[in-house]
A and B are shown apart, each in its own frame.
Chain A
Amino acid sequence: GENVEQHPSTLSVQEGDSAVIKCTYSDSASNYFPWYKQELGKRPQLIIDIRSNVGEKKDQRIAVTLNKTAKHFSLHITETQPEDSAVYFCAASPTDSWGKLQFGAGTQVVVTP
């Protein structure tokens, strides 16, 4: 089955700097890669997702890149703000098991003013 590795486990950044989180996946059949943000005690909330037919997607300060050959994808947050502080999870889902999201271990992002 799919195995998703996520790095780093914690990331401290100064407000205004960029943050990058990287994930690798094992199943070449995976073709859907969402990123969720989870604040303490809250539900995971989708912030951006990408499908395998594109290499990059951007939404304001957030971007995701996908390298299918290398089987890795990354989340980029620019101009970080204190409200970006949260745990970020990457996930992957294969076509033949759509919906069976396999999550990475999460990255605790702390943005300091």
Chain B
Amino acid sequence: EPEVTQTPSHQVTQMGQEVILRCVPISNHLYFYWYRQILGQKVEFLVSFYNNEISEKSEIFDDQFSVERPDGSNFTLKIRSTKLEDSAMYFCASSGYQETQYFGPGTRLLVL
């Protein structure tokens, strides 16, 4: 069964550094999402992406965040200047049109 994959599984960075989190969605899906989950808390929506543009974004997704589909398979989340409070698990998800979202295994980001 196809799955969403994410790299790296863990990322440690210094405050103020840029990080790029990578995702490979399920191949026939056209809708892509990023969520984050601070330890012990609920999953929070960040952004949805379709047809090479952002469809929706939450108030968390400020100017420090950007997403990109650089080629036919990858979907990336960039945090331009990381803050301590960006430490969280970041999940990528993908879906078909108005269908179930399938989540990747996550990238645990730790900002020191």
Q: Mark A residues whose CB is within 8 Å of B.
A: 32, 34, 36, 42-46, 49, 89, 91, 97-106
Across the interface, A45 reaches (CB within 8 A) one of B35, B55, B103, namely B103
**Interface pair A100/B48, CB less than 8 Å apart:** yes
Given A34-B100, A89-B43, 18 other A-B contacts at CB below 8 A? A34-B101, A36-B43, A42-B105, A43-B91, A43-B103, A43-B104, A44-B103, A97-B56, A98-B98, A99-B31, A99-B48, A99-B56, A99-B95, A101-B35, A102-B45, A103-B43, A104-B42, A105-B42
**19 contacts across the A-B interface (CB closer than 8 A):** A34-B100, A42-B105, A43-B104, A43-B106, A44-B43, A44-B91, A49-B100, A89-B43, A97-B56, A99-B33, A99-B48, A99-B95, A100-B48, A100-B56, A100-B58, A101-B33, A101-B43, A101-B101, A103-B44
Q: Does B102 sit within 8 A of A, measured CB to CB?
A: yes
**What are the 10 closest A-B residue pairs judged by CB atoms, nearest first?**
A43-B103, A103-B43, A99-B48, A100-B56, A103-B42, A105-B42, A44-B103, A43-B105, A98-B98, A100-B45
**Residues 27-70 of chain B, each 1 if its beta carbon lies under 8 Å from chain A, else 0:** 00001010100000111110010000001101000000000000
